[in-house]
Structure 1
Amino acid sequence: MTDRKALLTDAAITTLAREGLRGLTHRAVDRVADVPPGSCSYYFRTRLALLTATVERLAELDADELAPVTPVPERVDQDHLAALLAGMAERSVTVNRERMVARYELSLESTRRPELRAALVAVGERYRELASTLLAAAGAADPDRQGRALVAFLDGVIFDRITGAGRVPLDPAAFRRTFAEALRGVLAG
């Protein structure tokens, strides 16, 4: 992604997190990015183009963050994997909270826009494949099925933390315990 497109999609992420989908306009993105009016619409002619590019930018940012675990080693220790997952969840609800809120906004919108849904599904498959590969390296009996379950669990924990549904705050140690217990359950089949 070019620097200008990255600047604009980063501003779209911020706008989505702060204002929701109703607040996401080309003009709002221009304001947040602090660029001349019309810049966003020059690069992304339609709202769908902006939304799709924002999904791609989120995937790009996530790929950078996941780079330390790719490629996946041949064997992965369960405790190490639990700590890795807990760290990802903790970052998702703290330093990457804005990205997660934007992702949830896009996910809900994708239920009404098949074209956006296709982009989200393609990106989501990358995460599920990585989870399957990690679980296979940790000794899972059915890594594809278990990887999908693990991603769903991870998403649920993050959503719970971001929306405030879980009233008890989880500290880093509690996150690690939660993921260690879930991982043991997943790997036990």
Structure 2
Amino acid sequence: MPDYLVLAIEAQDRVGITLDLLAVLYRHHLNISSMEVDPGLAYIKLAPPPDRGELVRELAGIPGVKRVSEMEALPSEGRQRQMEAILESISEGVLATDEKGSITLINPAAEKIVQHPREKVLGRSVGEILAPDVPMLKTLATGMGYDNEEVMINTNPRSHYIMTTRPIKKENGPITGVVAALKDMSQV
């Protein structure tokens, strides 16, 4: 039996539909692990109930609910797995930071470039790991992306790379981080 039950609930987009769904889950004493809501769709991840059929019938009986179906995972979990597969398969190094310049993401190619495993890099300053004048820090300061900037990386021996950066921003808001791609100069 799976650890979680993930339900996709297609429903009329109306005020109160989410509250009605939650009321059914509450009556069944079910704890929600995660929930995603889009217009006309709700995805709910929860511990499997003792009587799955009864729960599904009760949810399907809510006015405005068109269909209740089971899924393997939440849409966001599928996108996360897809992004991880992409990052692991590309040969360029990819790093991302938060707004303070602390590394939040590093793919396997970037681990090889910086000569440190992910566990030793995550949470540390990109300036400390790569170089103090790395374009990622300029992107954080200016909000501008940089294309094909030459950088010397703090490795043993120091190595030349080409870096392209882009700011990560909230919609019409402040910079929340930066993402960069690294290419070995010898491969350009």
TM-score of the superposition, structure 1-length normalised?
0.28
Task: Using CA pairs under 8 Å that are at least 6 residues apart, name the structure with larger relative contact order, 1 or 2.
Answer: 1
TM-score of the superposition, structure 2-length normalised?
0.29
**Larger helix share, 1 or 2:** 1
**Larger strand share, 1 or 2:** 2
